Structures are given as structure tokens and as C-alpha cells.
Amino acid sequence: MKIQAISTGKVKITQNWRLAQGSGFKRLMNTLLDNEFTAWLPIYVWLIEHPEGLILIDTGIPAEANKRIWFPPFMPLLQRAATFEMTPEEEIGPQLQQSGFAPADVRWVILTHLHQDHDGGLHYFPQAEFIVSQTEWAAATGLKGRMNGYLNQRWPEWFQPTLINFEPPSYESFAGHHTLTNAGDVHLLPTPGHSPGHMSIIVEDGNVSFFFAGDASYTEELLLAEKPDGIGPEPQKQQETHQRILAYAAQKPTVYLPSHDPEAQKRLANRAAVLTNKNAASIWGGDVSSRWAEAGVSPVAL
């Protein structure tokens, strides 16, 4: 299965946004008032050429995000703590055309969550079926959604996604799941914490699971450290999500692909799986270090 990483522009956030400092209200203030920023981070959209149809995971940001005014006036601190940079050609529509596809070719657009750097290209896909978790939709719509920082006034009028409830039975280490494809190889999973109804997507390809993590963690390193970010409403839930993902990665070779991880594209190209002390032995058994060398990847220190 061919999978492409497409970066729709780039973003800088405060260091304390990337990695939480403190707890409660103080944590949020630390995030918004921090003067130290990350390097430029990618904003990945993932294109999966599945035999049952093209799947797009998230839609990136629009070029308007360059303008400060793009953020609503009641979000001044958010304006301060995040900066975007992109050109109109970097929007998802033009980039898909560059890859030889028309937006109308996309069958499913799965949104990991409805934050502004994931829902900024909805307007390109009026023909697609959008998929959002029921919990995320409830958090993001209406006035309450706007007060929570969702830019729902910018969504196209026709935007009416298929809503997913993650009913039991559980799937591996996850509390529930929804299988999207008839082939049974694309699974949607609840991964709350960064946002109330955040979801991740597993695509099984041979003996490897590609794990599209959205913002469940900003990097693989933060997943391994089980560290929450500085903005999500439920940091404890985010840590529980990390533990569930790591438990999954202990059972199956899992290529972990967050939206803003500068190393994600390389890991996709190399099919480089999450390596933990917990999972290395169960995946490969026995002599772990030689198998790491064989796979051309370095062990991740825990």
C-alpha cells in the first residue's frame, strides 16, 4: 500500500506547549506565556492509496493561517503561542494535484480531531465522506466549541461528517474501535487527551501497522516518555492513551506517525517501528541489538 506524507506548511509552538510544565491553570499559562519556541515543525496530512479508495488523514492548514487575524480575537494568547508559515501552493488541494490526484478522487477524509491545523482544507473535498468521532464533534460544534478554540465558523456549510462511536468490543489495547474497510485493515481508535474525542488510525500493511497518531503525542520521543502536551484538556487521559499505544506497539511492529514529528516521514520511508525495551523482545525475540542493527534503526533509550 502506498502511503505519502504531505506537509501543509509549518508551525512553531512554545516549548511548554510541546511538553507540559506544571499542572492545572498554571500549566496553561506556562504554555501561553513561554518565550522559548520550538524549531519549525511539519503539519502532515497522510495520503493512503488503499484498494478500496483513497484515504486522506487530516487536511492541514490554509494559507490564511499566516495572518494573525485568522485567529478569532478572543484567542490572543493562542495567537502568541503558535505561528504558522505556508504558501497557497502548500494547501492540501494543490499538493494532491501535484501528486497526480484530484481532490474528487478521495473517498474518505478521516479527521484525527478538529483543531485548526487539521481541519483547514475541508473545502477541497465536498465529494468525500468525512469521518470524525462523535465525542470530538460534540466538543467542537456550536458556541461551546468556539469557546474551546475550535474555528467551526470557518467550516464549509455542507460539512456534515459521519460520526463514529467507539463501542466495545475493545481492539488490542484500545477501549473500542471502528473498522473502516471491508478488508478489515483500517481501524479507527479512541486516543483522547489532546482533545476530548481525538482518534488515531491504524493501517495494517503486511506485518507492519502504520499508526497515524494525529496529536496523541507530538513526537515518538514524547510517546515513549509518556509526557502530555501543554494544551490538551485532559493530560492524564493523554498519558493513558500513550500507555495504550505502547502496549499495542509491544504486540506488533508499529510505525508511529504523529502529525508534527519531524522524524515521521523518515520512519514511514524506512518502515521503522517503535522500539521499546518492552516490545523489542516480543517482536524479534532473543538478540535484540543485532536485530536493531539489521533493521537499520537505533534502539530508543527509555
Which residues of this chain interact with Zn ion, rule CB under 5 A? 115, 215
Q: Report, in Å, the least distance between residue 286 CB and Zn ion.
A: 40
Q: Looking at beta carbons only, is 137 or 275 nearer to Zn ion?
A: 137
- In the bound state, the residue with its beta carbon closest to Zn ion is 115
* Cα(183)–Cα(153) distance, integer angstroms: 36
What is the number of helices (H) and of strands (E) in the chain? Answer: 11, 12
Shortest spacing between CB 260 and Zn ion, in angstroms:
9
Work out how close the CB of 113 gets to Zn ion at its nearest, in angstroms, rounded to a whole number. 6
Minimum gap (Å) between residue 189 Cβ and Zn ion: 17
Q: How far is the CB of 263 from Zn ion (least distance, A)?
A: 18
Question: CB-wise, 54 or 216, nearer to Zn ion?
Answer: 216
Nearer to Zn ion, 115 or 244 (CB): 115
* Tally of CB atoms within 10 A around 156: 11
Q: Looking at beta carbons only, is 115 or 237 nearer to Zn ion?
A: 115
Q: Indicate the DSSP class of residue 69.
A: G
Residue 102 phi/psi, 5-degree rounding, is -95, 150
Residue closer to Zn ion by CB (options 11, 55) is 11
Cα distances (Å, whole numbers) of residue 197 to 59, 129, 133, 216 = 17, 18, 6, 11
| Short-list 266, 268, 273, CA closest to 252 | 273
100: left (phi over 0), alpha (psi -120 to 50) or beta: left
